[in-house]
Structures are given as structure tokens and as C-alpha cells.
């Protein structure tokens, strides 16, 4: 009985190309009590592996958070399996705006303490006392209200390439960093302002809305289904799109274009650009924004030092990496002194809260 992925990303990529099947990229989440997350994890792995599902899924006592891809021809079978699980019956599925057959190359289902690393002690407040969920039409009305505070609950590298008009975008590296900062910075508005939040698919706002109600905010709202479902509703209903730029996603695509606006710059030359890449030096792998011109000039690296290392024979690079832990830069998402047009950690510390 196979309970773990056995193929490399390269092997899986070859199989996807050979199969020639269209795949759908999907995300969903559900807060629910799971008595034995490990048994549940094994159950869905066996079922989903048989359906050729690939993706990154987190399971915890508090529920499930899934980003995955599935062959289009197996979508109905996957939906039927989800509906066979009591707490996942009719769960909202966010289907990607832009499809890519190689959005995921492995099936990874991990048991975690939480399905989102929020740093919260759930025992101190009622996690079911959530904010008001609103669809795209009501959301558009709310964010035009001068009595509304619109807050982006994502990280700096996400909001940098795309966000809603007039949104407050905390300059933070993680979701847990933003929670206390937002509460502190907006504390004077708890009684009289509408706190409206959004994120990629809705999961980060789900518990944050309950947290902010617990902290004394009287009017708390969240965008149902996040940016992904907002975009679908805008397209389906012919509504005005108030999102500018790209929606960052956590798979091989890295982003989905929502509007033609380019609101960010190449981190190396400062020209308008919203393409995220990872440094080609495997020992670095820093996520940053790089234009085509700089990619060619820098050999897809973030710095001259990394370019020199990347030019070395592969065996030499492996020797240099041997015995070293993976660079923490991969988690810093664009925080590097080598990037001339991106804030350093010190600069970001001085400008945590910004609005657009």
C-alpha cells in the first residue's frame, strides 16, 4: 500500500507530458474537527493518488487546506469523493483562473498542528464567531464606502504584484506577523469603522475575522472565496473589477493575471515588472521579481555572487552545498540587500504598514 509520493518532479513532469491530459488546478479549505488526522490523511492519499491528483495538502485536527491539480476527466470522481466525506460535502472549490497542467508535480499530504500557521491560541476566543462573508458585488460596494478599512491579509511579496484599490497592505513576511500589527495599527477604529479583509482563497480571513471580533472590532467582513472566487464572480456577472495586477499563487504558476495593470518593479533594474522567479543558484533559491532583460544579463540569478556560483559545473555546485542547510533566503521572499529595488529587512521594519 503506497502512502507517499515515489516519483521525482522531473519524472512526473514527463508523465504529464506523455499523458497529454488537461488538468484543473483547484483549491479549497474547511475547518472541521478531525479526530485522527493521520488516518484521514492516509485515506485521502489512497483515494486521490488513484485519481492522479497532485498538490500540497495540509491536514490537522482543525480541518483541511488543499491546493491541488487533477485531470479534468477525473474531476467528477474527485468531487464525488469529497461529497462522500461528511464535512466536505458541497465544499466550495476555487478553480484557478489560469490553468497550467504542471502547476503541481507531486502529491504531498502532510499532517500539521494547524492548516494555516497563524500563531493563535484558539482556546482564548470563539473561532466560530466569524465575520460576515460577502460576495463580489457587496464587496465592491463596501470598499467604496469611506467608512471602510480594507486590509490585505497576505504577505508583502503577494500584495506587491497585485491588490485591491485603496487596500492597506502590511509589509510582513508571514500571516502570523500581520495579525497583531493590524490590530495595533487600527485599534482606534474598532467601534466606528468597517474592517473588510481579503486573501487568496479565504482561509486566512476565516479565523482572522473571529480573532478581530474577539479583539473588539464591531463590524468585520471578509471576501467570500478570496481573490480567486471574486474574479470568477466578476467575470460571470459582468461586475467592475477592482483588483489591480496579479494574484500570487503557491504553485508552479506563481501567479494569475487578474488585470493588465503592472504595479510592481523588477528588483534589479526598477523597470515595471510583475514576474516572480527563484534564483537559479540552488543554494540560494531566493524568490524575487526579475524582468526578461535582467534574467538574461544575470543568468536568472539574484546577485553577481549567485551568478558566479551558477556558472560553475554542477558537481562543483553540489560540493559547495554539501553539509549546508537550505538557505533561509527562500523564506524571505525578496528580502535581500543584493536587490537594489526591493526594501531590505531593516527598511521594511520601518514601514510595516502601507496603503495604496
Q: What are phi and psi of 178, to 5 degrees?
A: -75, -30
What is the rounded CA–CA span in Å between residue 323 and residue 206?
A: 41
**In angstroms, rounded to a whole number, what is the distance separating the alpha carbons of residues 82 and 91?**
8
**Under 8 Å between Cβ of 289 and 339:** no
The Cα 190–Cα 144 span in angstroms is 19
Instruction: Dump the DSSP string for 165-196.
Output: TT-EEE--SSHHHHHHHHHHHTGGGTTTSEEE
Cα 159 from chain centroid? 11
Cα gap 181→194, rounded to integer Å: 17
- 20 backbone dihedrals φ, ψ, rounded to 5°: 65, 25
Residue carrying C-alpha cell 482556546: 123
Cell digits of residue 332: 524571505
Q: How many residues can be counted in the chain?
A: 356
Non-local (6+) Cβ contacts of 187 within 8 A are none
| Alpha helix positions (H), the chain | 9-19, 37-50, 75-84, 136-143, 156-159, 175-185, 203-214, 226-237, 292-297, 304-310, 314-321, 329-332, 345-350
Do residues 30 and 88 make contact, with C-beta atoms less than 8 angstroms apart? yes
Q: Using CA atoms, how far apart are residues 241 and 259, in angstroms rounded to an integer?
A: 8
Catalytic (active site) residue 199: yes
| Helix, strand, or coil (residue 25) | strand
Which residues are catalytic, by number? Answer: 199
Amino acid at each position: 500500500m503506497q502512502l507517499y509520493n515515489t516519483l521525482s518532479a522531473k519524472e512526473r513532469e514527463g508523465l504529464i507530458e506523455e499523458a497529454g491530459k488537461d488538468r484543473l488546478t483547484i483549491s479549497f479549505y474547511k475547518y472541521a474537527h478531525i479526530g485522527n488526522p493521520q488516518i484521514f490523511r492516509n485515506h485521502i492519499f489512497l483515494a486521490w493518488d488513484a485519481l492522479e491528483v497532485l498538490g500540497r495538502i495540509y491536514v490537522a485536527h482543525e480541518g483541511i487546506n488543499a491546493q491541488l491539480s487533477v485531470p479534468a476527466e477525473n474531476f467528477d470522481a474527485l468531487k464525488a469523493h469529497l461529497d462522500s466525506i461528511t464535512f466536505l460535502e458541497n465544499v466550495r472549490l476555487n478553480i484557478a483562473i489560469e490553468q497550467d497542467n504542471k502547476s503541481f508535480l507531486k502529491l504531498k499530504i502532510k499532517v500539521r498542528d494547524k492548516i494555516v500557521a497563524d500563531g493563535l491560541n484558539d482556546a482564548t476566543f470563539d473561532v466560530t464567531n466569524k465575520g460576515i462573508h460577502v460576495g463580489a458585488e457587496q464587496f465592491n460596494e463596501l470598499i467604496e464606502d469611506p467608512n471602510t478599512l480594507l486590509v490585505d491579509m497576505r504577505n508583502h511579496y503577494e500584495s506587491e504584484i497585485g491588490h485591491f484599490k485603496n487596500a492597506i497592505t502590511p509589509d510582513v513576511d508571514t500571516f502570523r506577523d500581520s495579525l497583531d500589527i493590524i490590530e495595533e495599527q487600527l485599534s482606534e477604529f474598532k467601534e466606528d469603522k468597517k474592517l473588510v479583509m481579503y486573501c487568496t482563497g479565504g482561509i486566512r480571513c476565516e479565523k482572522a475575522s473571529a480573532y478581530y471580533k474577539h479583539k473588539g472590532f464591531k463590524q468585520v467582513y471578509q471576501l467570500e472565496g478570496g481573490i480567486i472566487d471574486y474574479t470568477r464572480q466578476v467575470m460571470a456577472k459582468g461586475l467592475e473589477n477592482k483588483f489591480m495586477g496579479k494574484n500570487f499563487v503557491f504553485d508552479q504558476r506563481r501567479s494569475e493575471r487578474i488585470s493588465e495593470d503592472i504595479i510592481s518593479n523588477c528588483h534589479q533594474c526598477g523597470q515595471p515588472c510583475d514576474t516572480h522567479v527563484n534564483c537559479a543558484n540552488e543554494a540560494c533559491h531566493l524568490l524575487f521579481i526579475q524582468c526578461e532583460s535582467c534574467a538574461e544579463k544575470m543568468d536568472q540569478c539574484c546577485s553577481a555572487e549567485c551568478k558566479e556560483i551558477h556558472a560553475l559545473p554542477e558537481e562543483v555546485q553540489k560540493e559547495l552545498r554539501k553539509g549546508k542547510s537550505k538557505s533561509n533566503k527562500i523564506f524571505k521572499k525578496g528580502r535581500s540587500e543584493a536587490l537594489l529595488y526591493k526594501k531590505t529587512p531593516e527598511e521594511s521594519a520601518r514601514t510595516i504598514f502601507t496603503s495604496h
